Structure 1
Amino acid sequence: MKKRNLLWLYLFLFVSIIDILFTANGQLEYRYYSKPLIILSLWAYFIASSVAIKGTTLRKAVSAALICSWAGDVLLLFPNLFLYGLGAFLLAHLCYIFAFKIAQKNPFAIGQVNFIRLFFYNLPIYIIAAFVYFLIQPGLGNMKWPVIIYLIVIVMMATVARERFGNTNAISFWQVFIGGLFFVVSDGILAINKFFEPFPESGVLVMGTYILAQLLIVRGIMAHGQEYKVATKK
């Protein structure tokens, strides 16, 4: 890996650690500077390290997801803009769904689908989402439908990540899938803290799992990248 690419990765890890420390110490005023740099540095790392898929739809989709995530991070710094932040992350997940779909072998091939088996494969994800919704539902108020729509989309993101099994290399699959699960966990903790019962460790847990999610997803897409480039040349 080129030194320039590693520098972006080190910057991402550095600002992520700094932001978590600010969160843990309650120094929220400094997060206006640290939090926006997290995804910006990860996006720069992705662009610098994904030359193999330059100009492809896959690279554009992941870039769009990261840009929307950055917008969501900034908007969520302001409590009165929570709904707009939720919308930005909704767009990010839609971009990731599309990216996960095309980051596999024969992504649009039509084959026989066993819906019963598919349901049981995805059941753990459904259970996590249902449990979170059960906890937060009484406190949603007029946020009920935006949260339901968001919950459906993030579940779709995680299940599409799981459906890549056997349709990409093992490293790409596991990194993207685990990243998707971390995203579900991060948003679940955020929802429980906001709509059910606040707890002091939530900020660190939300950011820790969120940072891991984004990094694993980007690394997983990059692991698939060379195969994708070869396939598009055929």
Structure 2
Amino acid sequence: MPTMRLPLLLLLLIPAAAVAIAGALWGQTALLFVFKPLSTLLIIYFAMPRGQVLPVEAQTRPWILRGLWFSLGGDVALLWPEQGFIFGLLSFLCAHLCYLWAFTRVRRLGDWLWPFGVYALFAAAVLSQLWPGVPAELRGPVIVYVLCLTAMGAQAAVLGWRARGTPEGGRGALLALGGFLFVLSDTCLAINKFAGPLPLASLWVLSLYWTAQVCIAGWLSPKRGA
């Protein structure tokens, strides 16, 4: 499979994502049903040939790809926002666990504690505002999800920090950004669902989400000479 370079990915992903977001904003479900999964599939295709250079990537690459596939499952489930919410939550929970497992193949969990403290404070502040709107039957799953999401974001920041000044520094920074944007995307989703409506929610949620996934996929090293 040839490597899809980033400019080509963006050339295809940006219009696909734009159509999906427009479909969500304007209630054009046919567009959303086609272009939302397609956008994530393009990121998976971008990631597939990557991560085959560094020795550690024999452990990280399979889990990043699994995380992307679970994300695709979550995308499909959330095409039905009410009926598919639990299935989407579980799919993205699995995605975050896959990413977290991949990140801890490089550095142990909590190798640098500051990001975990910052993300914990942020999560607590958001949950304190949203908690009254979270149905009782969802409070347990939401807490578990938030713990996994913030741990993923914080561990991504750990890898970004520890990679400073190394040949992997650029990709480490990209990963840290991806984790942060994923947390922001899910925060917008939670605000819209439990406290909203958030104006232009689909624009913020989906644009942040796909940018985050590109950053996470871009953390995997490109093939030599690609």
Under a length normalisation based on structure 2, what TM-score does the superposition of the two structures give? 0.85
Deviation at 1:170, TM superposition (A): 1.5
**Conserved 8 A contact 1:24-1:203:** yes
- Greater CA radius of gyration, 1 or 2? 1
Counting aligned pairs with the same residue, the percent is 29
Unaligned runs of 5+ in 1: 227-234
Amino acid at match of 1:23: A
Matched, 1:96 2:90: no
For residues 215 and 173 of structure 1, the distance between their equivalents in structure 2, rounded to whole angstroms, comes to 13
Tell me the SS of whatever aligns to 1:200. coil
The structure-2 alpha-carbon separation of the partners of 1:4 and 1:209, relative to structure 1 and needing over 3 Å to count, comes to closer
The answer for the alignment partner of 1:36 in structure 2 is 37
Q: How does 1:223-234 map to 2 (within 5 A)?
A: none
In structure 2, relative to structure 1, the CA distance for the partners of 1:47 and 1:188 (3 Å cut) is same
Instruction: Classify 1:4/1:137 alpha carbon distance in 2 versus 1 (closer, same or farther; 3 Å).
Output: closer
Match of 2:185 in 1: 186
Structure 2: where are the runs of 5+ without partners? none
Partner of 1:199, secondary structure, is: coil
Deviations 1:211-232 (A, max 9, x none): 1110111112336x88xxxxxx
1:3–1:146: structure 2 CA closer, same or farther, 3 Å change rule?
A: closer
Distance in 1, Cα, partners of 2:68 & 2:17: 15
Count of aligned positions: 215
CA offsets, 1:107-141, max 9 Å, x none?
35x9xx89xx72x4433212221121112111112
Q: Deviations over 1:56-100 (max 9, x none)?
A: 222211110000000000000012110010000000000000111
Q: What aligned pairs does 1:97-176 form with structure 2 within 5 A after superposition?
A: 97-102=100-105, 104=106, 107=107, 118=113, 120-141=114-135, 142-164=137-159, 165-167=161-163, 169-176=168-175
Q: Secondary structure at the match of 1:57?
A: helix
Deviations 1:152-210 (A, max 9, x none): 00011011112212246221221111110100010011001101121231111000110
Confirm whether residue 206 of structure 1 aligns to residue 205 of structure 2.
yes
One-letter identity of the residue aligned with 2:98: C
Please say if residues 158 and 184 of structure 1, whose CA atoms lie closer than 8 Å, have aligned partners that are also in contact.
yes
CA distance in 2: counterparts of 1:197 and 1:88, whole angstroms: 23
1:11 shift after superposition: 2.4
- Residue number in structure 1 paired with 2:65: 63
Report the RMSD for the aligned CA atoms in angstroms: 2.6
- Of the structure 1 ranges 7-16 and 82-91, higher mean CA displacement relative to structure 2 is found in 7-16
For residue 137 of structure 1, give the secondary structure of its aligned residue in structure 2. helix
TM-score normalized by the length of structure 1? 0.82
Structure 1 runs, 4 residues or longer, greater than 6 Å off: none
